[in-house]
Every structure is written in structure tokens, then in C-alpha cells.
Chain A
Amino acid sequence: MLQAVLAVPRAALSFPRNGVEKAAIVIAILIVLLAVLGVWLAPFDPLKINFRGKLEPPSFTHLLGTDGSGRDVLSRLLYGAQLTLASTFLVLAVIVAVGCAIGIFSAFIGGVVDNLLMRLADIWLGFPPLILAFGFAAALGASLQAAIWALFFSWWPTYARLTRMVTVDILSQKFMASADALGVPVHRKILNYVIPNAFDVLIVQATLDVSAVMLAISGLSFIGVGAQIPTPEWGAMIADGRSYVANGWWIVLAPGLAIFLTALAFNVIGDMLRRELDPTSSRRQ
């Protein structure tokens, strides 16, 4: 397990094939760093309203200008990086953990329970996340939390099914029969055999899903079901700046570019990982 985890930074150094992939890795690391340190780097309070200084174009005081209520866009962007990425990784961590647990359990137990769980996953997959998000917004009130819940409920089946499929494949391998012959108990099979061998597939899917989840959170916030204005969430910032596009283009441009760059970077990394790790990928070599 540890080896598999340690393989990631090592791989990150040897995988990139071209400048785009190198740039994507640099951008992703920068964005994560900014998200972690953003709270201390932000020059202003992201929520401080200043009507006298509203809609100021980018200047040396306000590097990215101010929004319709005079809030500093750069500060909001940095706070937003933390909020957006934190909720993205939270959602992702929970769906990966829950999905993997259900998938591995399902594959190990087999039979009727396996079938029931997977049909349940199919049914959940049938719900469009958007509809689910509206449902949660109606029940919990429109908030970032509602969006997170909605994404969790609509996304775990993807991982449950993927993990189950990979685990069933691993369980049919010869080395699992050898593990039986060595008397390996179930918990050690999961820890030492299933998880390390499923790691490649899961890390690729999870990396590709970073951008998907982030776009979903921002998207839900943009249409008003997720984070609410004036919360400095990137989607909500675009929603807020929408009405000022004509005389304050920088308000939507900054969070828009941030979403675009982050999604692009993680997608490129995900594709790169798939090329390098997935043996069925035809683009290898």
C-alpha cells in the first residue's frame, strides 16, 4: 500500500511526455499550493464590502480588480480556491472511500448480495446529479453542503461499480489462488492484494474526476443550488459577476479562468496517468 502511494510522486517525475503534461503538473501543484496558502496570501477580506471602490478594474492595489460590491477579486479567488478545491477533494475522498468499500465488499461476497448492491448502484446512477441537487437544495436549503451531498449520492455508484469490476478481475487471478494456498485471511487479501492491484485504475479515475467534481460543484453554485453569493466559491463568483460582464469583465474572467485551468490541468494529468498505468490503453508506447 505504502509502496503504491510512494510510486505516485516518483511517477509524476517520469510520466510527462511533453510540455503540456509538465505544465499541467506545475499548474496543478501551484493551484493546490494557492488553495492551501491562499488564506494567508489574500491581501483583503474576501467578504468586505466597499461600495465606494466597486467595479474597479485591475490595478496595483486590486490586482484583479473589485466586484460589484467592491470586494477584492484576487482575495475572493484565493479563498475560493480553498473552498472549491477542499469541497472537491472532500467529495472525491468520500465517494472513492465509500465506493471502494462497497465495490470490494460486493465482489468478495458475490451472489445475491453482490447483485442487489450493483442493481442499487445502477438505480442511483439513473438519477441525474442535477435533479438530485435540486432535491437536496429543496430539502436542506440551497447551500454548498446540499451540493456536496447531491454529488456524493450521485457519484458513489461509479466507484462502487468500477472497484467491484476490478476486484472481481483480481480475485480471478492466479495469485489469489496462491494466496488461498498460503492461508491469507480476507483482510490481508484486501490490504495487500486487492487495493495495490486496483490502485492504478482507481487513481486514474479519481484524477479524471477531480475536474469533473469541481465543474459540478461550481456548476451547481453557478445555477444557485450550491454555494450562495457572496460565498467566495468560484461558481458562485461567476454567477455574481454575470450581471457586470459589460462593465466589469474581470469579475467573471478570474474565476472562469481558474476553473478552466484547474479542470484542464487535472484532466491532462488524468489522461497521462491512464496512458502510463492502464495496460489496455492503446496510446501506450
Chain B
Amino acid sequence: MDEPLLKVENVAISLRHDGRSMVAGVSFAVNEREVFGIVGESGSGKTLLTRTLFGLHDDAFLSRGSVTFAGETVPLSGYAAAMRKRLGHAIGFVLQDPFSSLNPTMRVGKQITEAIYLAKGWPMGAERTKEAAMALMSEVGIPEPKLAFDQFPDQFSGGMRQRIVFAIALSQEPKLLVADEPTTALDAITQRRVIDLILDRSRRHKLAVILISHNLELLRQSVDRIAVLYGGQLLNIVTAGEIGTRTIHPYAEALFACIPARDKRLADVRAIPGEPVAAGAARIGCAFASRCSFAEAVCREAPLPVNPGAAATFSACLLGRGVH
């Protein structure tokens, strides 16, 4: 098999101000063209993990592990700076909330041409760059790109702004696009459209995508594989097809059972009993042990297994559930 585009092995993330470890033992790999989902409840550490992984978190750092991107291992010392050098051309990162991620004083067209300039300079001249930007705007579904080019962000709706955000990220032609909750602020139909846009682009341009979301259904329908985070631990990596068809990690199982569906009555949607634990509490054993219906003594005592060699699928269950 080809080398994966991004390989994250046994990574731990600590807070800068007190050195507390928030996320530990995370291993996964993302292949070229693959759409990889990261799911987890609020506070599970998914945003912390991805932001730190791509050098965008000022208050946390990578304290352990190794990260390889496009065949190059990024050293742990000076990690954030080294990773930031890859942002803006090799890696695109789209943040939550389209309402505030655009510069309010710059015309949207200029924001796209500016992004192209930052990634590549002006190899095709300003005029051609402008045309490329407008072509991209129509590709992401902005009506009348000629008109939109000279407008300011506040003249667009949330969905349109998110499209512009993606147009900006895609204009730099990254190999990997990381989207942190790209659809949270949008209505259901717009969510679907924005996700389809990313998937379409991924298929046609060999783009690998990491999609972070807590929208389980959207993720299940869109991605190839899903990593499940809980309490700062990576509990499970499953292919989208495995969900609902075979045994997976008890937490992932419980999580996906929460998805409401047309043929389910509300009473059938089982909430997981208990409160979610926050990432970061120093713990031995499985973070989910306190809420798991299968939990045994070993779950609270044994160290959690780490995905060896960042394998394609993985279950951290100490009872072996979902391991295959």
C-alpha cells in the first residue's frame, strides 16, 4: 500500500501553561483522496487535537509522538512553526463559523486572489488569477461570481460565506483540507450542499479531507473512515460501512445509536447514560469505562492500547469489542 499522506502516531497534546496532558495515544493515518471523519462529543478534544496537529493552537503543544506529512516527518521541536509553513499551500484549514472567518473589510474576490497569491505568487498574472478566482467561485456555487467578486462578506448569507471560505481554502490547491465543524452554523440543506461540495472536489482533485464534526449522520454519509474520540482518547477507527453492520467499539456503537432516523421513534433513540468526561483528566484505563454497559475491572486498570502503526481500522476496547 502507498504511504499515507498524513500519519499521526501515538501523539499526546499538553497545555502550555501547566503541562497537563489533554489528549494522549492518538494514532491514525489519512490517505490521499480519502475523506476522514473525526467525531466526538463537545469537549472530547477533537478541535484541540486538530488545531494543535496543524500548528494553529497557541495554548497547547505536541508533547509526544510523531507526525509524518507527505513523506516528511515533522520534528517535535518547533512543531507548530514547521506545520504552519505547510499551511496556505500543502494544507488548507477551514475553521468553524463562517460568519466571522472572513476579513470584513476585504472584498471576497480579493480574499480569494490574495490566497492564491500567498500559495503561489502571481505565476499567471493578476488578470488570469482573477479569472481563476471567479471560476472557483462559480464552482463552489456562488451565483454571479462577477458581481460577487467585488462584494464584502457581510453582503452574503451564512451558506454563501461558508462557500467563499471553501473557495479561499481550495484556491490554494492543498493536498489536505482540514475542516473543523464546517457546517455547524448552517441549516440542514446548506450543510448537505457544503459537504457535497467538499466531497466533489475531493473526488476530482485528489484532495484528502479531514472532516471534524459532531453531526454523526452527516459524517456517516460523507466519509470513508471515522475516528471516534472520547475524553481525549482515540477509542475507535471504523469504516463508514461498518457502522450498524458489525460490532464496533461500545462507545462508537452507543454514539451511532443516538442518530435519530425516520423509522425510529424518539423512545428508540438511546442516550448514553451518565455525563461525558472531559479530555485531559489524567486517567488510567478507558475513559468510557464509567458509562459503558460492558465495563469490567480491567477497563479501569489496564493501559489503553494504542493503534499500532496507525492501522486503517482500530478499536481501543480493552475487552476486544470491535477488534478485528
- Hey, which bits of chain A sit against chain B, CB under 8 A? 3-4, 173-175, 177-185, 188, 192-193, 196-197, 199
A-B contact count (CB 8 A): 69
Q: Mark B84-117, 1 if CB is under 8 A from A, else 0.
A: 1101110011110100111111110000001100
Check if B198 is an interface residue, CB within 8 A of chain A: no
For the complex, give the distance between the alpha carbons of A175 and B84 in Å.
16
- By the criterion CB–CB under 8 Å, are B84 and A177 in contact? no
- By the criterion CB–CB under 8 Å, are B105 and A181 in contact? no
Q: Chain B contacts of A175 at CB under 8 A? A: 100-104
- By the criterion CB–CB under 8 Å, are A182 and B105 in contact? no
Check if B258 is an interface residue, CB within 8 A of chain A: no
Check if B165 is an interface residue, CB within 8 A of chain A: yes
Q: CB within 8 A of A193: which of B92, B103, B169?
A: B103
Q: A181 with B56: in contact, given A175-B102, A192-B106 (CB under 8 Å)?
A: yes
Q: CB within 8 A of B104: which of A185, A188, A197?
A: A197
For the complex, give the distance between the alpha carbons of A199 and B84 in Å.
29
Q: A182 with B115: in contact, given A175-B100, A175-B103, A196-B106 (CB under 8 Å)?
A: yes
Q: A178 with B95: in contact, given A183-B84, A183-B87, A183-B118 (CB under 8 Å)?
A: yes
- Hey, which bits of chain B sit against chain A, CB under 8 A? 54, 56, 84-85, 87-89, 92-95, 97, 100-107, 114-115, 118-119, 165, 168-169, 172
Q: A183 with B106: in contact, given A175-B100, A178-B101, A192-B114 (CB under 8 Å)?
A: no
- By the criterion CB–CB under 8 Å, are A182 and B100 in contact? no
Listed A/B pairs (22) with beta-carbon separation below 8 Å: A3-B105, A3-B107, A177-B56, A178-B101, A178-B102, A178-B165, A181-B56, A181-B93, A181-B94, A182-B87, A183-B85, A183-B118, A183-B119, A183-B172, A184-B88, A185-B118, A188-B114, A188-B118, A192-B106, A196-B103, A196-B105, A197-B103
Q: A181 with B97: in contact, given A192-B103, A196-B105, A196-B106 (CB under 8 Å)?
A: no
Q: Chain B contacts of A3 at CB under 8 A? A: 105, 107
For the complex, give the distance between the alpha carbons of A177 and B169 in Å.
13
Q: Chain A contacts of B92 at CB under 8 A? A: 181
Q: Chain B contacts of A197 at CB under 8 A? A: 103-105
Q: A180 with B87: in contact, given A174-B97, A174-B100, A192-B114 (CB under 8 Å)?
A: yes
9 shortest A-B CB distances, which residue pairs? A183-B88, A196-B105, A181-B93, A174-B100, A178-B101, A175-B103, A174-B101, A183-B87, A182-B88
**Can you name the residue of chain A whose Cβ is closest to the Cβ of B178?**
A181
For the complex, give the distance between the alpha carbons of A179 and B85 in Å.
13
Q: Chain B contacts of A183 at CB under 8 A? A: 84-85, 87-89, 118-119, 172
Q: Chain B contacts of A182 at CB under 8 A? A: 87-88, 114-115, 118, 168-169, 172
Further contacts, 11 of them, CB under 8 A, given A179-B103, A183-B85, A183-B118: A174-B97, A175-B100, A178-B95, A181-B54, A181-B93, A181-B95, A181-B169, A183-B89, A183-B119, A192-B106, A192-B114
**Can you name the residue of chain B whose Cβ is closest to the Cβ of A1?**
B105
- By the criterion CB–CB under 8 Å, are A181 and B102 in contact? no
**Can you name the residue of chain A whose Cβ is closest to the Cβ of B114?**
A192
Q: Chain B contacts of A178 at CB under 8 A? A: 95, 101-103, 165
Q: Chain A contacts of B103 at CB under 8 A? A: 175, 178-179, 192-193, 196-197
Q: CB within 8 A of A177: which of B89, B101, B118, B119?
A: B101
For the complex, give the distance between the alpha carbons of A3 and B110 in Å.
12
Q: Chain A contacts of B105 at CB under 8 A? A: 3-4, 193, 196-197, 199
A5 to chain B, nearest CB (A): 12
A100 to chain B, nearest CB (A): 16
**Can you name the residue of chain B whose Cβ is closest to the Cβ of A183?**
B88
**Can you name the residue of chain A whose Cβ is closest to the Cβ of B172?**
A182
Q: Chain A contacts of B118 at CB under 8 A? A: 182-185, 188
For the complex, give the distance between the alpha carbons of A196 and B168 in Å.
20
Q: Chain B contacts of A192 at CB under 8 A? A: 103, 106, 114
B290 to chain A, nearest CB (A): 34
Q: Chain B contacts of A4 at CB under 8 A? A: 105
Q: Chain A contacts of B84 at CB under 8 A? A: 180, 183
**Can you name the residue of chain A whose Cβ is closest to the Cβ of B106?**
A192
**Can you name the residue of chain B whose Cβ is closest to the Cβ of A185?**
B118
Q: Chain A contacts of B102 at CB under 8 A? A: 175, 178
For the complex, give the distance between the alpha carbons of A174 and B95 in Å.
8
**Can you name the residue of chain B whose Cβ is closest to the Cβ of A184?**
B118
